[in-house]
Amino acid sequence: MYHYIEYGSSESPHEDQEKYERFMERIEAGEKIEADDWMPDDYRQSLIKLISMHGISEIMGALPEKEWVPKAPTLKRKLGIMAKVQDEMGHGQLLLRVAEDLMKPYGKTRKDLIENLLKGDLKFHNVFHMPTRTWADAGMVGWLVDGAAIISQTNMLDASYGPYQRALQRICQEEVFHAQHGEAIIMALAEGTEHQRDILQESLNRWWPSLLMFFGPSTADTTGTSKQDIMIKYKIRKSNNEELRQAFLDKYLPRVFSLGLTVPDETVHYDEEKGQWVYQQPDWNEFKQIIKNNGPRSKERLRLREIAYKNNCWVREALSKEAVGS
């Protein structure tokens, strides 16, 4: 959680009010807000929190799949998963640059973000705290985790903040390839031997609660309601967590069932009257523990990130000297 100084506090409340009204007119008119434009503090802080968490999750999200680069079953799969890992790091870099521009008034940089991650102050996405035990897990991450990411990011493809919206346009195009790469792995396993089908089902059983948690608690179960509301008011996102989860279930449950797979929840069914999927809530206390870095692989992944950060320090130093010298 960040506690930044108030931005724009040197201006009178009256001037701020006029600027705020003009800002809201622009938001309502569907205009894009750019990095140097005036923006209210809660808009800036919501964006910093959202984009830094998104960017860091892209980078931490490369780690579970990176484990499978040396173990991929064929050269074609190895090339596919390597390209995906590389893309995810690129997404992270793109997003952290967007976050860095927003943090300028607070005198913060990307270095602060990485240090906040290593200190445990900046959270990364719940799914990337989980182990990838089998090759089916590598497929599952591409198919359903990237699939869920596409639903969540498509919800922000018209976000009011221009730099984020443009970054998302590019990221989403690549995410579609990631989901297809994952789907290809899943299809091969689903059409394979009994053992391959078994590891696929076992993987889905393990990932199911994490996938439900992916979109966060619904409005009814959370104190985070105001955060969702602020983002909807400022047209950063359109739908709330539960609407996104329903969109995910709508898209993927029929595909899961058509492959002859099941989900580990006998209560799952579509309620025609309500027009939504009914499912058993995952354990939200466990979710809180996972994102507090108490998940099964949290510490190990943070340690890996720290080692990479320290090992690559000389590159950052060399580049900053070059920049100073030029």
Among 65, 67, 100, 175, binds Fe ion (CB under 5 A): 175
- Of the listed pieces 50-58, 119-127, 195-203, 254-262, which binds Fe ion according to CB under 5 A? 50-58
Among 44, 77, 91, 301, binds Fe ion (CB under 5 A): 91
- Of the listed pieces 29-37, 68-76, 144-152, 209-217, which binds Fe ion according to CB under 5 A? 144-152
Asked if residue 88 binds Fe ion (CB under 5 A), the reply is yes
* CB 130, CB 140: distance < 8 Å: no
Q: Is 47 exposed, middle or buried (0-12, 13-18, 19+ CB in 10 A)?
A: buried
Size of the site for Fe ion (CB under 5 A): 6
**β-strand partners of 243:** none
**β-strand partners of 1:** none
Longest CA–CA span in the chain (Å) reads 70
Nearest distance in Å: CB 49, Fe ion: 18
**β-strand partners of 276:** 271
Among 49, 123, 178, 181, binds Fe ion (CB under 5 A): 178
Q: Is 112 exposed, middle or buried (0-12, 13-18, 19+ CB in 10 A)?
A: middle
- Pick from 124, 146, 131: nearest CA to 80: 146
DSSP 8-state class, residue 33:
B
Among 65, 146, 183, 242, binds Fe ion (CB under 5 A): 146
Letter for the amino acid at 137? D
- Of the listed pieces 146-154, 155-163, 269-277, 285-293, which binds Fe ion according to CB under 5 A? 146-154
Smaller CB separation from Fe ion, 91 or 245? 91
Residues engaged in binding Fe ion (CB under 5 A): 58, 88, 91, 146, 175, 178
